[in-house]
Each structure stands twice: as C-alpha cells, then as structure tokens.
C-alpha cells in the first residue's frame, strides 16, 4: 500500500523531531549517549571514561597553570575542590569494593 504525500510528510517530520531530540540529548551529555546497562561493556566504559577524564583534566590543568597566575585564594579553592572530588571518588570506590554499607 503506497503512502500518500501527507503520510510521507508526517513520517519525515516525526523522524526529524526524533533526531533533533537525540541531538539535543547528546549535546547535554557532551556527546555521550544514554544507553541500557550491559554490565561488562558498562564497566569498561566507566573505566575508560574515568581514565579519559583524568588525562584530559590533568593535561588541561598543566597547560592552564603555565598561562594563568593563581592568587593564593584561587590556589587554595582549587586545591580544596580537587581534594573534595578525590574524597568523593574514593568513597565511590570503597562502596563498589564493598567496604561500606548503606544500612
């Protein structure tokens, strides 16, 4: 059964809108696509994402330190923020390893 012009246009608009929503969602997540959990693939993806983040952040921070002159207050705030992030990541690692309980 052949589609008439109105049906073709409706399908085209629906596809365009779906693709626009997917593009907007990807832009919000910086190109990372939401997906269903697959334990092995997700573990590898999280490990890769953690290493990628660490390498990217440390390289950008090193380059920025060469250009920017930190005030003592800025340096103290950055150090505090990095320690806070490190502590939170440590808590996540301990929770995953089973060293903490949520009871």
In terms of residue numbers, what domain contains 6? 1-34
- Contact between residue 33 and residue 26 where contact means Cβ atoms under 8 Å apart: yes
Entry pTM: 0.52
Alpha helices in 1-103 (DSSP H): 5-28, 39-67, 72-97
Any domain includes 28: yes
pLDDT digits (tens, 9 = 90+) for 66-92: 787 778 898 899 999 999 999 999 999
Tell me the two tokens of residue 78: 């950055």
Segment 27-50, tens digit of pLDDT? 665 545 555 555 566 788 888 888
Q: Is residue 29 part of a domain?
A: yes
> Domain for residue 25, yes or no?
yes
Number of domains into which the chain is organized: 1
Tell me if 8 is assigned to some domain.
yes
* 24 within a domain of the structure (yes/no): yes
Q: Is residue 17 part of a domain?
A: yes
In a domain, 39, yes or no: no
pLDDT of residue 102: 59
The label of the residue with tokens 């150090």 reads 79
């Amino acid at each position: 059964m052949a589609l008439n012009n109105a049906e073709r246009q409706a399908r085209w608009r629906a596809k365009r809108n779906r693709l626009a929503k997917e593009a907007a969602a990807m832009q919000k997540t910086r190109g990372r696509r939401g997906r269903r959990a697959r334990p092995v693939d997700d573990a590898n993806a999280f490990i890769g994402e953690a290493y990628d983040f660490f390498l990217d952040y440390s390289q950008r921070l090193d380059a920025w330190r060469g250009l920017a002159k930190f005030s003592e207050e800025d340096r103290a705030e950055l150090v505090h923020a990095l320690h806070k992030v490190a502590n939170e990541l440590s808590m996540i690692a301990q929770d995953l390893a089973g060293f903490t309980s949520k009871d």
